[in-house]
Amino acid sequence: MLDDFLIRAALAGLGVALAAAPLGCFVVWRRMAYFGDATAHASILGVALALGFSMSIFAGALTVALIMATTVSTLTGRGYAMDTLLGVMAHSALAFGLVAVSLLTNVRIDLMAYLFGDILAVAKIDLLIIWGGAALVLTLLVWRWQALLTTTISTDLAYASGIDPKREQLVLTLALALVVAVAIKVVGVLLIAAMLIIPAAAARPLSATPERMAAIASLIAAAAALGGLQISFTLDTPTGPTIVCVAATLFALSSLISAVVRPAQRS
């Protein structure tokens, strides 16, 4: 069954969707959209280093994404404005990564595949990495769910409950780096943040509880992955951007439903 490239692509899309959507809820709640973007942009530097030193691309992307996320978390609140810091680091990391890739004269690399994804080229080993990373991310989120929610609501409430907000930020940082590393093959560096944010934002108007929002976001992300794959195959369009387009369409439908249903409920 896994010899069919479409089956492998569908499984890869589902793995990324299940990992990114619940984590994306925390990204939306904490207004960390640019944080995810900066981490994703940094991963292209990890790809370049991995190719240059003949390492695993997953290991290189994960290492650099984790360093970026940890650096941003450490510097935040030490005299640097968050948006300024993220803007500088995101674009600098992407620029250094692109320059590093251009210097790899003895390595042939399809840069577009890493920028926008190449889900149709996913191999069996990639599936193992994607689903292994997704399982680890989901395990982290389930294990720390209540503590993460409490910290998201209020750091003072977290301290009062005996929870260390810095530790929970570290958990989110690790989970975010893992998602970036496993998603780079599917949607690429430039679209990873979209898969983190759009499904969660689409689920928000349809949810009454945090748990329901995470579940609905996962369903929306899965629908976007499978729908985008089908549309891409039918219309011969780039698969990664098509997946994000389907997610954006679902977000528009969610917003429309919310705009229609809420006034009706009030009346």
- The 10s digit of each residue's pLDDT in 115-151 is 788 888 888 888 998 999 899 999 999 999 999 999 9
Contact 69, 39 (CB under 8 A): yes
Domain interval for residue 134: 5-266
Chunked mean pLDDT (size 10), the chain, 267 residues: 77 92 90 76 82 81 81 66 73 82 73 79 88 92 91 87 86 86 82 90 90 94 94 90 94 88 60
Residue 247: the pLDDT is 95
Distances 80 to 17, 85, 157 between C-alpha atoms, Å:
33, 6, 25
Q: What integer pLDDT is reported at residue 74 of this predicted model? A: 73
Tell me the pTM.
0.86
The pLDDT assigned to 11 comes to: 92
Between CA 195 and CA 20 the distance in angstroms is 7
Select from 213, 173, 220 the least CA-distant residue to 195. 220
Q: Assess contact for 194 and 24: CB atoms under 8 A.
A: no
- Helices 57-75 and 165-183, axial angle in degrees (round to 10): 150
Angstrom CA distances, 28 to 23, 63, 83, 128, stand at 9, 24, 15, 28
Number of domains in the chain: 1
Rounded to whole angstroms, the Cα distance separating 90 from 39 reads 7
Please tell me whether residue 225 adopts helix, strand or coil conformation. helix
Q: How far apart, in whole angstroms, are the C-alpha atoms of residue 132 and residue 148? A: 22
136 exposed, middle or buried (CB, 10 Å; 0-12, 13-18, 19+)?
middle
pLDDT of residue 78: 60
Question: Using an 8 Å Cβ cutoff, are 164 and 178 in contact?
Answer: no
Token reading at 3: 């010899």
Residues 6 or more apart whose Cβ sits within 8 Å of residue 266: none
CATH number at residue 234: 1.10.3470.10
Query: CA 219 to CA 199: how far, in whole Å?
Result: 8
pLDDT, position 227: 94
